[in-house]
Structure 1
Amino acid sequence: MNHDSETLIIGAGPFGLGLAAYLQNRQHDFRLVGYPMEFWKRHMPAGMLLRSGVEWHLDPDNQWTIERFLTERGESTEQLEPLPLELYLAYCEWFIRQTQLPIQETYVTQLSRNGAGFRATLADGSNLEARQVVVATGFYSYSHVPDSVSELIPVARLRHTRDANDLAAYRDKRVLIVGGRQSAFEWAALLREAGAARVDLSYRHDTPQFTVSDWSWVEALVTGMVDQPGWFRRLSSEEKEVQRLRLWTEGRLKLEPWLAERIFRPEVHLHPRTQVRAVSEKPGGLSVTLDSGEELAVDEVIAATGYQVDIRRLPFLSESLLTELEITNGFPVLDEGFQSNVTGLYFSSFPAGQAFGPFFGFTIGVRAASRILGAVLNGE
């Protein structure tokens, strides 16, 4: 059975939910397909603390905010920083209830052209047709493990952080984490607290500083893009690099100070300025040699090596769409309204980072993206 709509939103994470709320408030005809906050629920570990602040809420109309959610629960923002993952997910569920968003909980298995519009085939075999489509999927398809790691570590012993969120499975295990940014250190802390026997971290750079990150400048910058959506693309290459470096400094060159006391424990061992050089299988585990000469006895390896956009890895884009789609450095080429060169096909969230700046890999970009894109879709 076919169901027609003006706009199809694929993905029910923060960017999809924010956009849907904007469109619903303006009586726009849309369909939202996906499992609400699935990546956050299934691929982030329990007990995780978020770097985002309480002001990074989802509502582009600023009605259903995290502060309002906390007030209704009788809690203050001062008591809840850093923000626990579980509380953020509770906020998202509350947001969905308050906005009464109609979410079709299934997967799009293929998206293809259909005349002047698009046809989405769903997991149950049914089709949904729309004049325009927004791909608002997040990080899942873009997990990155460098060849230098994947070619050395046996597949059965290696997991990306995306797939290493069941921390109880590492109890009494010796775990090597490859990577040295926030996620690597937080996984190390959580693994130790979950009962891992030993946690080693190997990373190529110096140990980042445990100090408070300053995100205050980002919100004003991203909010300003609502009125100047082409701001980032009009910067020179040097000016773009300045913005990337500034965000990199806050997000990658610093570790949250609340991690320090959880890291500097006897079970956690840091190996800065090192890489894995050789791996051999031994009875009951692995012998890992670092280029520093250190040898580690390891049961499991976790790659905290981040995510890299390659739009070709989205499993539901048809071959014909991919052939037509203009792609640079793995990112879709977008105009100032988030539209690709394929008329009617838009991309939000992480894949919009090249066109709009790296801020759109963070939830702080949700409201700005929803307002810019929503106005375009709604013909405002």
Structure 2
Amino acid sequence: MDQDSETLIIGAGPFGLGLATYLQKRQHDFRLVGHPMAFWKRHMPAGMLLRSGVEWHLDPDNQWTIERFLTERGESAEQAEPLALEWYLAYCEWFIRQAELPVQETYVAQLSRNETGFRATLADGSSVQARQVVIATGFYSYAHVPALLSELIPSARLRHTRDAIDLAAYRGKRVLIVGGRQSAFEWAALIREAGAARVDLSYRHDTPQFTVSDWSWVEALVAGMVAQPGWFRQLPPEEKEVHRLRLWTEGRLKLEPWLADRIFQPEVGLHPRTQVRAVTEKPGGLSVTLDSGEELEVDDVIAATGYQVDIRRLPFLSESLLTDLEITNGFPVLDEGFQSNVPGLYFSSFPAGQAFGPFFGFTIGVRAASRILGAVLNRQ
């Protein structure tokens, strides 16, 4: 069955939901395709706590806020923070209901261009014809595992954090986590609490501080981009680097203080300023040698090595569309309205980070992206 729509939004994570809400309130003809919050539900572990606060809600019109959700539940921000993954997903489900968002719960199998716009073939057998398309998919396709780890560690014993969410599978096991940022330390705490016999972390830098991050300055910058969408791209390279470094400092060089007591435990070993140098497979496990000379006996290795955008890894983009798309450093080249060089094709969320700043890898960017992009789509 073919369906026509002015705008197709691909992805029902935070950025897709925020944009859909903006368009819905303005009676824009759109179709939203994706499984709501699927990455958060399927690729984040139970018991995870979020770094975002109650002010990082999804509604660009500030109606269906986390504060309102708290009020309806009779809870305070102090009671809710730090936000548990399960709690945040409950907010997102409530948000979808309140905004009355029509979500077509399937995936796009292929997106291609034709004479009237774009045609999306869906996994449920239907298709959508749209004049303009917004790709608002998040992190899933960009999981990064360094080549060295892939070469040294047998694939059966190596998982990226994206796929290491069955915590019970690590009960009684010795686990090495490669990486030293928030996700690495939180996975270590959760795996230990799930009954792992031993958890070691190897990372190239000093151990980050367990201290509260200051995100207050980010919200003002991102909100200001609604009036000046080209603000970040117009900065001199050295000023862009200042903002990247400051965000890196808050998001990567600090660990949430509620992790400290969960990490400094007898079963957890920290190995700062180290890298994996050699791996030998033995019956029942691996012998891992770090470049410090330390040797670790482990059963499984988890790569907490983050995500790197490479738009070519999106599985549904047709070859002809990829050929036409201008890409720099893996990112699509975007104008001030999030539009790529392919007319009518827009990118939001993580892939917009090169053009609009690293803030768009966090949910704090949802509302600004929705307002900028929504206004552009309505004008078109």
- What TM-score range do you get, normalising by the shorter chain? over 0.9
Inter-partner Cα distance in structure 1 for 2:67 and 2:268? 36
TM-score by length of 2: 0.99
Look up the match of 1:339. 339
Aligned length: 380
User: Counterpart amino acid of 2:125?
Assistant: G
State the alpha-carbon separation in 2 of the partners of residues 18 and 126 from structure 1: 25
Aligned partners of 1:142 and 1:30: how far apart in 2? 27
Q: Alpha-carbon deviation of 1:270?
A: 0.2
Match of 1:50 in 2: 50
In structure 2, the partner of 1:141 is 141
Aligned to 2:119: 119
* Alignment pair present for 1:216 and 2:216: yes
Quote the Cα distance in structure 1 between the aligned partners of 2:38 and 2:305. Answer: 21
What does residue range 352-371 of structure 1 map to in structure 2 within 5 Å?
A: 352-371=352-371
Q: What corresponds to 1:276 in structure 2?
A: 276
Offset at residue 116 of structure 1 (A): 3.3
Q: Could you say which residue in structure 2 is the equivalent of 1:9?
A: 9
- What amino acid does structure 2 have at the position aligned with 1:29? D
Aligned to 1:243: 243
Q: Quote the offset at 1:256 in angstroms.
A: 0.5
Over residues 17-68 of structure 1, what are the superposed CA-to-partner deviations in whole Å (9 max), with x where a residue is unaligned? Answer: 0000000000000000000000000000000000001000000000000010
CA deviation string 1:268-320 (max 9, x = no partner): 00000000000011111000010111111100000000000000000000000
Moved beyond 2 Å, runs of 4+: none
CA–CA separation in structure 2 for the residues paired with 1:200 and 1:4: 53
Q: Indicate the residue corresponding to 2:201 in structure 1.
A: 201
Residue deviations 1:214-273, cap 9 Å, x none?
A: 000000110000000000000010000000000000000000111000000000000000
Long gaps (5+) in structure 2: none
Aligned residues with identical type, % of pairs = 88
Please give the root-mean-square deviation of Cα atoms over the aligned residues, in Å: 0.6
2:70 matched residue in structure 1: 70
Q: 1:124: how far off?
A: 2.5
> 1 CA distance for matches of 2:222 and 2:334?
17
Cα offset, 1:78, TM superposition: 1.1
Aligned to 2:94: 94
Question: Match for 1:66: what amino acid?
Answer: I
Quote the residue 1:155 is aligned against. Answer: 155
Tell me the alpha carbon deviations over residues 181-203 of structure 1, each in whole angstroms, 9 at most, x when there is no partner.
00000000000000000000000
With the length of structure 1 as denominator, give the TM-score of the two structures.
Answer: 0.99
**1:175 has 2:166 as partner:** no
> Aligned equivalents of 1:217 and 1:184: distance in 2?
25
Matched residues in 2 for 1:232 and 1:75: separation? 37
Alpha-carbon distance in structure 2 between the residues aligned to 1:301 and 1:115:
49
2:191 aligns to what?
Answer: 191
What secondary structure does 1:148 align onto?
Answer: helix
Q: How far 1:79 moved relative to its partner?
A: 1.2
1:293 is paired with a residue whose SS is coil
* Residue 150 of structure 1: how far off its partner (Å): 0.9
Residues in 1 aligned to 2:81 and 2:123: alpha-carbon distance in whole angstroms: 39
Q: Which amino acid letter does the alignment assign opposite residue 118 of structure 1?
A: F
Cα distance in 1 between the residues matched to 2:158 and 2:268: 19
The equivalent of 2:350 in structure 1 is 350
What 5-or-longer segments of structure 1 have no aligned partner? none
Q: Is 1:230 aligned to residue 238 of structure 2?
A: no
Shift in Å at residue 148 of structure 1? 1.3
Q: Which amino acid aligns with 2:224?
A: G
Alpha-carbon offset, residue 127 of structure 1: 1.5
Please tell me the residue identity of whatever aligns with 1:251.
G
Distance 1:265 1:343 in 2: 55
Deviations 1:156-203 (CA, angstroms, capped at 9, x unpaired):
000000000110110001000000000000000000000000000000
Which amino acid is the alignment partner of residue 146 of structure 1? P
Distance between the aligned counterparts of 2:21 and 2:379, measured in 1?
16
Q: Secondary structure at the match of 1:192?
A: helix
- SS class of match (1:239): helix
Which residue of structure 2 lines up, in the alignment, with residue 166 of structure 1? 166
Structure 2 distance, partners of 1:114, 1:10, is: 18
Matches of 1:200 and 1:98, distance apart in 2: 44
